[in-house]
Amino acid sequence: MPWRETRNPYHIWISEIILQQTRVEQGREFYLRFIDEFPKILDLATASEEAVLKAWQGLGYYSRARNLHKAAQQIVQEMGGEFPHDYDQIRSLPGIGDYTAAAIASFAYSQPKAALDGNVKRWSSRFFGIQTELSKPAFSKEVLPLLQVGIENSGDPYSFNQASIELGSQICTPQSPRCESCPLQTDCFAYTHGRVSEFPKVTPKKAPQIWNLHFLALRWKNEWCIMQRPAKGIWASLYEFPSLSCDTPEQSLPDAWAEALSSSIKVLEHRQSTHLLSHKKVQAQCWYAEWIDPVISPLDLQKEGRFLQNMSDSNNSEVWISLSELRRVPVHRLMDSFIDALPT
């Protein structure tokens, strides 16, 4: 992987943030695209937030892209544009936690800082026989000192952390771990006691909350109506077709839209899609429609405050843009799929 062929702390930082939410194979494409768009810290720091979000599109967790942007600006404004060498300084940057700081410190600067991600947690819980639940802060407090002794005695912090992470991702996997190939087999608590299936200790995930969401893809004079989501919350500040949350998965145009617009629009197509977020399952429906009222235009209603701004999940104003412009603004993955399905 390209991020393992460099000691550039900026490149390693970008790769670690990307890999927090995607598999290595998919992450490579996003990493190369992001680095091509912002080759240096200064490029990222001076870019607009909208450009950064667009480059991040498809990865989700857009707060991480915003934190990258903020951290790059902090590095330029307060650190002379040079990525910090000190672990504590790295850790102080927006969006960088203990694991990411340790990974950058060891991979870029060969500093003996043990990196503890999900892969490392899994093999260490089995190896040491740790009874503490994996997601609890107490787990990290118990394991990190043990790993820290190992990395300090290794003489090669870079290789220690890389091997530790790959042990969990390639050998000590969540299901059907390859114990017969594990170099730590003879000293592993779980293996030697025949209790591999009991580790790590995890709490079952709760069923995701259902979110019924309608979108209205409305075309007028070859332009499409979009709105920017609120600055906080899910998909913060991203653009989308006007959306409206409903209590139930209705198979018809929401009442608020039907009552206000039924005589002015013609529904051309209806699509349904399911999209998974971290704690929500979005059951989405997109209504593709054309403005057909020859007397009143959408702009007339906008001026009177009687258009979609008051009938959507966003309180931002409606914007009309062409299809080519629509493909250039930052949108979430669900919106991207609706754009791809726009009727001609």
Is residue 194 domain-shared with residue 221, that is, in the same domain?
no
Identify the sign of the CA torsion 11, 17, 18, 23: positive
**Domain contains 204:** no
Which amino acid is it at 32? L
**Domain contains 203:** no
Is residue 91 domain-shared with residue 194, that is, in the same domain?
yes
| Cα torsion through 12, 18, 21, 23, rounded to 10 | -80
| 3-class secondary structure, 25 | helix
For residue 247, what pLDDT is reported? 84
> Helices (DSSP H) in 80-133: which residue ranges?
87-91, 98-109, 118-128
Interatomic CA distance for residues 160 and 150, integer angstroms = 8
For residue 248, what pLDDT is reported? 77
Is residue 58 domain-shared with residue 176, that is, in the same domain?
yes
Range of the domain at 324: 209-340
For residue 278, what pLDDT is reported? 86
For residue 315, what pLDDT is reported? 76
Is residue 27 domain-shared with residue 167, that is, in the same domain?
yes
Interatomic CA distance for residues 72 and 77, integer angstroms = 9
Active centre residues (catalytic): 16
Instruction: Characterise 222 by phi-psi region: left (phi > 0), alpha (psi -120 to 50), beta (else).
Output: left
For residue 49, what pLDDT is reported? 96
**Domain contains 15:** yes
Is residue 155 domain-shared with residue 233, that is, in the same domain?
no
The count of structural domains within the chain is 2
Identify the sign of the CA torsion 235, 32, 12, 26: positive
For residue 249, what pLDDT is reported? 76
**Domain contains 61:** yes
Residue with tokens 């991203």: 238
DSSP conformation class of 104: H
- For the chain, list residues with pLDDT below 70: none
Is residue 292 domain-shared with residue 180, that is, in the same domain?
no
Q: Which of 135, 164, 198 is the last residue of a domain?
A: 198
**Domain contains 229:** yes
The tokens describing 145, both together, are 């000192």
For residue 317, what pLDDT is reported? 87
| 3-class secondary structure, 16 | helix
The tokens describing 88, both together, are 């504590």
Residue 246 pairs with which residues in a beta bridge?
A: 212
Task: Tell me the pairing of strands 239-240 and 223-228.
Answer: antiparallel
Q: Which of 176, 198, 220 is the last residue of a domain?
A: 198
For residue 4, what pLDDT is reported? 78
**Domain contains 69:** yes
**Domain contains 184:** yes
Is residue 172 domain-shared with residue 249, that is, in the same domain?
no
What CATH number is given to the structural domain containing 245? 3.90.79.10
Is residue 170 domain-shared with residue 217, that is, in the same domain?
no
pLDDT in tens, 38-64: 999 999 999 999 999 999 999 989 999
Is residue 182 domain-shared with residue 263, that is, in the same domain?
no
Is residue 317 domain-shared with residue 255, that is, in the same domain?
yes
For residue 110, what pLDDT is reported? 96
Which amino acid is it at 48? S
DSSP conformation class of 331: B
Identify the sign of the CA torsion 143, 175, 279, 59: positive
Detail the DSSP E strand segments found in 75-231: 209-220, 223-228
CB 200 within 8 A of CB 130: yes
Is residue 246 domain-shared with residue 107, that is, in the same domain?
no
What CATH number is given to the structural domain containing 94? 1.10.340.30
Is residue 55 domain-shared with residue 185, that is, in the same domain?
yes
Determine whether 138 is exposed, middle or buried from the number of CB atoms within 10 Å of its CB (0-12, 13-18, 19+).
Answer: exposed
Interatomic CA distance for residues 164 and 223, integer angstroms = 52
Q: Which of 198, 225, 251 is the last residue of a domain?
A: 198
First and final C-alpha spacing in the chain: 40
pLDDT in tens, 151-209: 999 999 999 999 999 999 999 999 999 999 999 999 999 999 999 999 999 988 889 99
For residue 198, what pLDDT is reported? 96
For residue 3, what pLDDT is reported? 79
> Helices (DSSP H) in the chain: which residue ranges?
9-18, 24-37, 41-46, 49-56, 62-78, 87-91, 98-109, 118-128, 137-154, 157-166, 189-192, 255-261, 298-303, 323-326, 333-340
